[in-house]
Amino acid sequence: MIERIADQIIALERAALDRWGKGDPDGFLEITDPDIVYYDPFQPQGIHGREALAALYDTFRGQVSIERDEILSPRVQVSGDIAVLTFNYVSYGSEGSMRWNTTEVYRRRGDTWRIIHTHWSKAASRGEGRRA
Amino acid sequence: MIERIADQIIALERAALDRWGKGDPDGFLEITDPDIVYYDPFQPQGIHGREALAALYDTFRGQVSIERDEILSPRVQVSGDIAVLTFNYVSYGSEGSMRWNTTEVYRRRGDTWRIIHTHWSKAASRGEGRRA
């Protein structure tokens, strides 16, 4: 059951990323909960709510072109109606090669999973460091 | 009820951060689930499991000194036995001033909340950008 949910969540994310990589942010917006909290490295306060996120995503429409990408080491932690998907994401495209740490928290309502929290951040390619 | 949980989660995080800022990582380890997935900007693959995280945190023991910090705009999304805490964190101390985006996913078992996912990343101080 949990494995089936994990497969389902990864497939949702994969499909949304496929559209994202062709400049179409609607794949993500269609599976985004109105209540989303969104973090990426460029938004000082994060983005709160789907309407605000849609306004941000509109600025990317037709701008992104990912030639090749990969979801690495995906992990899905399921508890009740929440699934926490984490993965490393590598993409090659319009912005060169990027490596990300990604968190996507999905919540189920009825039979439908929606993202209530997204956190993208730039990942180390190698090396060590520390948090202070 | 949800507000009570939110207060409880923020208090757990605040207490762990207080100990962290004095060089004591055990505050976090004591509320970390064995199943944790941990991301920060310095771990290329993330850290999987409390044992591996404890090994990382041991290298920080006595090394961190935070003089002043602040949890900004905390938000707690509660669903069943999961609470997703997100906040901006600003600290001033041994490493200078840092600004972070932070995700902490807590899971309740019985009366006890434990962190099953942590994602720290460097936040923009200002300016705009885009995700590719």
Cβ contact (<8 Å) for A39 and B79?
no
Cβ contact (<8 Å) for B80 and A79?
yes
Cβ contact (<8 Å) for A41 and B105?
no
Cβ contact (<8 Å) for A77 and B35?
yes
pTM to 2 decimal places: 0.93
Of B44, B79, B101, the CB nearest to A107: B79
Residues of B in contact with A120 (CB under 8 A): 131
| DSSP labels, chain A | -HHHHHHHHHHHHHHHHHHHTTT-THHHHHTEEEEEEEE-TT-TT-EESHHHHHHHHHTTTTT--EEEEEEEEEEEEEETTEEEEEEEEEEEETTEEEEEEEEEEEEEETTEEEEEEEEEEEPPSS------
Cβ contact (<8 Å) for A79 and B77?
no
Distance CA B12, CA B28 (A): 9
Q: Which residues pair with B87 in a beta bridge?
A: B102
Task: For A46, list phi and psi in degrees, rounded to 5.
Answer: 75, 175
Cβ contact (<8 Å) for A132 and B107?
no
Q: In chain B, whose CA is at the least distance from the CA of A60?
A: B130
What does the DSSP 8-state code read for residue B110? T
Cβ contact (<8 Å) for A77 and B103?
no
Distance CA A38, CA B80 (A): 21
Per-residue pLDDT of chain B (132 residues; tens, 9 = 90+): 788 999 999 999 999 999 999 999 999 999 999 999 999 999 989 999 999 999 999 999 999 999 999 999 999 999 999 999 999 999 997 767 889 999 999 999 999 999 999 999 999 875 444 454
Per-residue pLDDT of chain A (132 residues; tens, 9 = 90+): 788 999 999 999 999 999 999 999 999 999 999 999 999 999 989 999 999 999 999 999 999 999 999 999 999 999 999 999 999 999 997 767 889 999 999 999 999 999 999 999 999 875 444 454
pLDDT of residue B39: 98
pLDDT of residue A126: 53
Residues of A in contact with B60 (CB under 8 A): 130-131
Say how many residues make up chain A.
132
Of B43, B63, B101, the CB nearest to A46: B101
- Give which of B5, B112, B121, B128 to mutate to test A binding, by max A Cβ within 10 Å: B121
Residues of B in contact with A41 (CB under 8 A): 101, 121-124, 129
Cβ contact (<8 Å) for A116 and B77?
yes
Across chain B, mean pLDDT equals: 92
Residues of B in contact with A89 (CB under 8 A): none
